[in-house]
Amino acid sequence: MIELQRSPFQKAFLVGLDMGCKEAGPGTLEEMTLLLENLGITCAGKTIQRRSEPDPGYFVGPGKAELIGTEAKDLQAGLVVVDGILSPGQAGALARVVGLPVWDRPLVIMKIFEDRAQTEEAKLQVELARCRYEIPLLKGLGLQMSRPGGGIGTRGPGETEFERHRRKLARRIREINKKIEAIRDRRESQRKRRTRAGLATIALAGYTNSGKSTLLRRLSGDHDLQVADKLFSTLDPFVRRVRLAGGAAVLFTDTVGFIRNLPPVLVTAFRATLEEITAADLIVLLADATSGRFEEDLAVVEETLASIGAGTIPRIIAINKADRVDTDTMINLRTLAGRSGDRVVTISALTGENTPELLDVVGEMLFPGRKEE
């Protein structure tokens, strides 16, 4: 079983593809560098190959794969990281050619999730994603997975190591699913109690590290909320009561951040957590004004919301970190964000700039026509 724990590797060699309009290789390698830094791994070097599509055998071309192995070892990298999704066959073939362990993007993100998971709920969801990620990889682990077994504790002499391992993972998935279903039922009961109490819910959504936890802390005044300048610092939903200017009390929920190419197994595993977004009355979509990929990040969040069934929920786009960009930049960002037709507010969750205006817009959208008390 692949152990998703803090990496023993110190340096990695990054590999990406530039497929024109299909991929933005250089940009995503910058993000991959940041992802690895969150695991304590530095980028020793990187390479991007131009291709119309990934090579079915090695992801990159076979000749390129050999060059990657040579260059990675020359740079003393202990790991090759592909900024893409590898099939089991591609992962095994590439690792054999480069002579080093090979990770793909989903595995890197899952390792960060495991490193951030603190509560039992988060750990269960990460383990569920890990198990689902591992099953397709079993066939690519070599001849040892095809050896027939026999003797005490096996199903019979004809059962292979692959079959035993798959059965073990399937059993663990069933066990975790039962526990997560209990969590979902509990959260659903909590949401029903809030509805009966007449409390509207606003979900904070956005790209990872866009400032959602900082905003919740600012709006609620709860300084015990942990805020960290790192990716995926929040994996569990946090709900806090906030009072609007008109006197109405509402609930704000902070949940896990999004990222491009978020592994589907993580989206599925975190369904119980993401339902806090799909059940919300309103979404405040935070966008990081300092991101060099502002428009792309915004599109990723919008696509992810649509994929989890939250695409039709009314929303406000809050451009965060306004204190860190100049006026002209902010005007351009407002124009980009406003193309969706949503209400746009510029704020600084850190300094509190324009957060009262954000609450005013929340009140207008939740309670249209209501007079100020």
One DSSP character per residue, 9-75 reads --EEEEEEEE-GGG--HHHHHHHHHHHHHTTT-EEEEEEEEE-SS-BTTTBS-HHHHHHHHHHHHHT
Q: Which of 86, 112, 138 is the last residue of a domain?
A: 112
Q: Residue 93 belongs to what H/E stretch?
A: helix 88-98
pLDDT in tens, 60-91: 999 999 999 999 999 999 999 999 999 989 99
Query: Per-residue confidence at 22, pLDDT binned at 50, 70, 90?
Result: very low
293, pLDDT greater than 70: yes
Task: Give the lowest-confidence range in 29-38, 142-151, 193-202.
Answer: 142-151
Exposure of 125 in the CB half-sphere (CA atoms within 13 A): 29
Across 34-63, average pLDDT: 94
Across 174-198, average pLDDT: 88
* Residues 160, 96 share a domain: no
Scanning the structure block, which residue is given the tokens 């998703």?
4
* Residues 70, 173 share a domain: no
CA distance 60 to 190: 49
Question: If DSSP codes are grouped into helix, strand and coil, which group holds residue 336?
Answer: helix
Average pLDDT over the chain reads 86
pLDDT value of residue 166: 86
Provide the number of structural domains found in the chain: 3
Q: Which of 67, 83, 112 is the last residue of a domain?
A: 112
* Residues 122, 93 share a domain: no
CA distance 258 to 31: 13
* Residues 105, 23 share a domain: yes
Amino acid at 36: L
pLDDT value of residue 229: 65
C-alpha closest to that of 52 among 21, 81, 74: 21
* Residues 213, 94 share a domain: no
Alpha helices in 75-200 (DSSP H): 88-98, 105-116, 120-134, 161-196
pLDDT in tens, 108-130: 998 988 888 888 888 898 899 98
Amino acid at 131: C
* Residues 64, 25 share a domain: yes
* Residues 294, 320 share a domain: yes
User: For 165, phi and psi rounded to 5 degrees?
Assistant: -65, -40
Q: Is residue 2 part of a domain?
A: no
Q: Which of 112, 130, 147 is the last residue of a domain?
A: 112
Query: Per-residue confidence at 372, pLDDT binned at 50, 70, 90?
Result: very low
Parallel, antiparallel or unpaired: strands 238-243 and 249-254: antiparallel
Amino acid at 179: K
pLDDT in tens, 294-326: 999 999 999 999 999 999 999 999 999 999 999
Q: pTM for this one?
A: 0.82
134, pLDDT greater than 60: yes
CA distance 43 to 80: 10
Q: Is residue 184 part of a domain?
A: no
Across 42-64, average pLDDT: 94
290: left (phi over 0), alpha (psi -120 to 50) or beta: alpha
Q: Is residue 193 part of a domain?
A: no
What is the residue range of 358's domain? 199-366
* Residues 43, 126 share a domain: no
